[in-house]
Amino acid sequence: MRAIAENIYYEDAYAGVTVGAITFPYGTLLIDSPLRSDDARAWKAALLAQSHGTHRLSVVLDVHADRTLGCRAIEFPIVAHDRTAEAFQERTTVFKGQGSEMGAEWEHYPEVSGTRWERPNITFSDHLSLHWGGPEIRIEHNPGPCPGSSWVHIPAEKILFIGDAVTPNQPPFLAKADLETWHETLNLLASRKYANYTIICGRGGPVTIDTIRDQRKLLKSIGGRLKTLSRRKAKPEDTQKMIPALLKMISYPARMETFYAQRLQYGLQQYYSRHFG
């Protein structure tokens, strides 16, 4: 557990995504969940051991299985954006991930198959504020990676948890994305408004302005290449030709190349099919 400020933490040692937590006097807010149930319960226990408030909530920053499968083990009411809650309604009751090759972290952990989804209990459309005996906590809608993507913002402490808005040293998840909206979100993130902020991404921890600019450059390249294919009336499967060039724009461990290529293959085909037909 790594402290960012008093009573505000993140942890990047669990399978799935980088999680966060805020333990203010009146309550505890968990930001996303570890993927594996045992990890989720351990994370919850570690936080409750030092928490004093009676309010307990978990916020999911988007609908991705890597950050939502472990919520059932947390057993806190779940906060999510309206669009994220809608996506949950389209899911089966039990997660069945067999045979999928999306390049997601859960694919490394077959034991999560068969997990029952825990659906959001509280939703919001633009933002939601919590006042729990410390600085204001704002949960804000910032789409791009997914329609319901959100951030947790503690303005007084200049801290942001941004989920998958930035994915350093790995390809982004594109299947549910909107690249133009995502680009606008990154412009906001790189603006003066968030100068001198501590920014925690959902897959790796703190990020710098250079990392944000690299993500923006990568997404711009992806968008341009997809439009070129569309003008040529290419098929969705033709997007795989883009993968080698895109991987060269990312610094990642060599052992992850096949896995990350699969992530791009799945995401590019899904994106192209949705946006270009």
Is residue 156, in this structure, part of any structural domain at all?
yes
Residue 98 pLDDT greater than 70, yes or no: no
Q: Is 77 exposed, middle or buried (0-12, 13-18, 19+ CB in 10 A)?
A: middle
Residue 263: name the closest of 252, 87, 224 by CA.
Answer: 252
Tokens of 139: 């949960």
**Contact 41/58 with Cβ under 8 angstroms?**
no
The enclosing domain of 7 has a CATH number of: 3.60.15.10
For the beta sheet containing 2-5, the strands, ordered from the edge strand earlier in sequence to the opposite edge, are 2-5, 8-11, 19-24, 27-31, 55-59, 78-81, 122-124
Question: SS3 for 142?
Answer: coil
The predicted structure's pLDDT at residue 261: 98
Alpha-carbon distance of 232 to 239, in angstroms, equals 12
Is residue 247, in this structure, part of any structural domain at all?
no
The predicted structure's pLDDT at residue 250: 97
Rounded to two decimals, what is the model's pTM? 0.96
Instruction: Give the 3-state DSSP-derived string for 229-255, with helices as H, strands as E and coil as C.
Output: HHHCCCCHHHHHHHHHHHHCCCCCCHH
> How many domains would you assign to the chain?
1
Residue whose structure tokens are 């883009």: 242
Angle, to 10 degrees, between the axis of helix 257-276 and the axis of helix 209-231? 50
DSSP letter string, 166-227: --TTSPPP-TT--HHHHHHHHHHHTSGGGTT-EEEETTTEEE-HHHHHHHHHHHHHHHHHHH
If you average pLDDT over residues 96-102, what whole number do you get? 75
30-34, 89-93, 214-218, 260-264: least confidently modelled range: 89-93
The predicted structure's pLDDT at residue 60: 98
The predicted structure's pLDDT at residue 149: 98
pLDDT in tens, 14-41: 999 999 999 999 999 999 999 999 999 9
Is residue 243, in this structure, part of any structural domain at all?
no
Alpha-carbon distance of 65 to 112, in angstroms, equals 10
Is residue 138, in this structure, part of any structural domain at all?
yes
pLDDT in tens, 108-147: 999 999 999 999 999 999 999 999 999 999 999 999 999 9
The predicted structure's pLDDT at residue 36: 96
Is residue 194, in this structure, part of any structural domain at all?
yes
Is residue 158, in this structure, part of any structural domain at all?
yes
The predicted structure's pLDDT at residue 50: 83
Domain coverage including residue 130:
2-210
Alpha-carbon distance of 67 to 71, in angstroms, equals 8
CA torsion, points 46, 49, 55, 57, in degrees to nearest 10?
10
- The set of residues, in sequence order, having a beta carbon less than 8 Å from that of 227 and lying 6+ positions away, is none
The predicted structure's pLDDT at residue 51: 79
If you average pLDDT over residues 178-195, what whole number do you get? 97
For the beta sheet containing 198-201, the strands, ordered from the edge strand earlier in sequence to the opposite edge, are 127-130, 137-141, 150-154, 159-161, 198-201, 205-207
The predicted structure's pLDDT at residue 97: 74
Backbone phi, then psi, for 37, in 5-degree steps?
A: -60, -40
**Contact 142/188 with Cβ under 8 angstroms?**
yes
Backbone phi, then psi, for 210, in 5-degree steps?
A: -65, -40
Residue 167: name the closest of 192, 145, 135, 198 by CA.
Answer: 145
Is residue 248, in this structure, part of any structural domain at all?
no
If you average pLDDT over residues 35-57, what whole number do you get? 92
Is residue 55, in this structure, part of any structural domain at all?
yes
Give the pLDDT band (50/70/90) at residue 99. low
